Chain A
Amino acid sequence: MAKNFKVGEMFKSGILTNNPVLVQTLGMCPTLATTSSVENGLGMGVSAMVVLIASNVVISLLRRVIPKKIRIAAYIVIIAGFVTMIDLLLKAYVPALSKSLGLFIPLIVVNCIILGRAEAYASKKTVGASFFDGLTMGLGFTFALFIIATVREIFGSGTFLGHEVFGPAFEPASIIGMAPGGFLVLGIIVAVIQIIQRKKKEKKEGNA
């Protein structure tokens, strides 16, 4: 198989320049709902990544078999199958995490990142490339969730992965951990990214 894709570039694109959450703003529901603690955010990120890799590989394998007209339905069934597996695995091995993520595990099915990658990438590219696409996009999703969850957990409850950060004198702003804080933190992070993007663009134009 000829290598028609660059792994290093894909990592950079998936995690930074084309981050599915922070730049493309896809998959907002789980992003906001599961980032009140780092543990939940990472759990969600990794679960979605596993589903994304598996569905990308299977869809890429079947890309010549699936008829064009019913492709979306076929993708949804494949994705839903993997989501069910993850759901049952989490219930069996990490019941606490499964309970705190709750509804959002079955809702991975309707995560637009996964269907989006299936339609835009896996249905056209080779198996290897689709695997790396799933891996890098999944890592990007996990990375974004990790950042948001870190900010929210540190300011919202004064802890990081359950360990206290500032000592007992710190009065946590619990609103950051609640629903409004999710919107606020995500808004500020996206704004910071827009500043960085603009600076980069200005620099490029300055050089030219």
Chain B
Amino acid sequence: MLTSLFSIALGAVLVENFIFNKFLGICPFLGVSKKVETASGMGMAVTFTMTIASAITWLIQHFILDRFGLGFMQTVVFILVIASLVQFIEMALQKMMPALYSSLGIYLPLITTNCAVLGVALLNIQNDYNFIQSIVYGFTAAIGFTLAIVLFASVRERLEYSDIPKSFEGLPIALVSASLMAIAFMGFSGLKVI
């Protein structure tokens, strides 16, 4: 049991990193990675949402959709659940943890259209994970996302001060750096817990 959880975690963080291997969550990865501070804020907000979303969508799939034969409604139901969950988290944080809210607040609405959240919910079902595995997968995949975006933001902070060809300024050089980081992450492929 523990080994399977560990292997899920290892896979989600390093081997099949959401950004560099699965291409999920690229929009925030490119959009909010100009500073390490905002990147880690985004990472934390995503981690929070993805973990809770994994748990809730798993419960809905198994206790509502499967039970009543409504599997075809999966996409519609999941995206609605995620959208309302994000709203709910926003309100709850505002009430209970205003300090955390003021640092994460602006990222929360962006998360609704982050494909990593819907992606992880669908992958949990596709991979036939059980409840605990789903939560672990959601949490660790988000950790992988955070790792990628924070590393990338530190690279981009350096890029600000370096001399780059004019046509590569902005997005192109960011994409090329992401490509090099993806090559580095390919080094983890084959890492497995036996």
Contacts and interface: CB of A to CB of B under 8 A. Distances in A.
Interface residues of B, number: 45
Interface residue range, chain A: 35 or more
Contact of B27 (A28, A103, A188, A190): A28
A105 B32 CA distance: 25
B167 A198 contact: yes
Contacts of B166: 198
B115 A25 contact: no
A175 B184 CA distance: 12
Interface stretch (A1-9, A107-115, A134-142): A107-115
A109 B118 CA distance: 9
User: Chain A contact residues: over half helix, strand or loop, or mixed?
Assistant: helix
Given A76-B83, A187-B174, A32 B180 contact: no
Interface stretch (A58-66, A79-87, A149-157): A79-87
Given A76-B80, A187-B171, A187-B174, A115 B75 contact: no
B183 A106 contact: no
B113 A33 contact: no
23 contacts: A32-B26, A76-B80, A76-B83, A77-B76, A80-B76, A84-B73, A103-B126, A106-B75, A107-B122, A111-B115, A179-B20, A180-B186, A181-B179, A182-B23, A184-B179, A186-B175, A187-B172, A188-B172, A188-B176, A190-B172, A190-B175, A194-B167, A194-B168
Interface of A: 25-29, 32-33, 72-73, 76-77, 80-81, 83-84, 87-88, 103, 106-107, 109-112, 115, 175, 178-184, 186-188, 190-192, 194-195, 198
Interface of B: 20-27, 30, 72-76, 79-80, 83-84, 112-115, 118-119, 122-123, 126, 165-176, 178-180, 182-183, 186
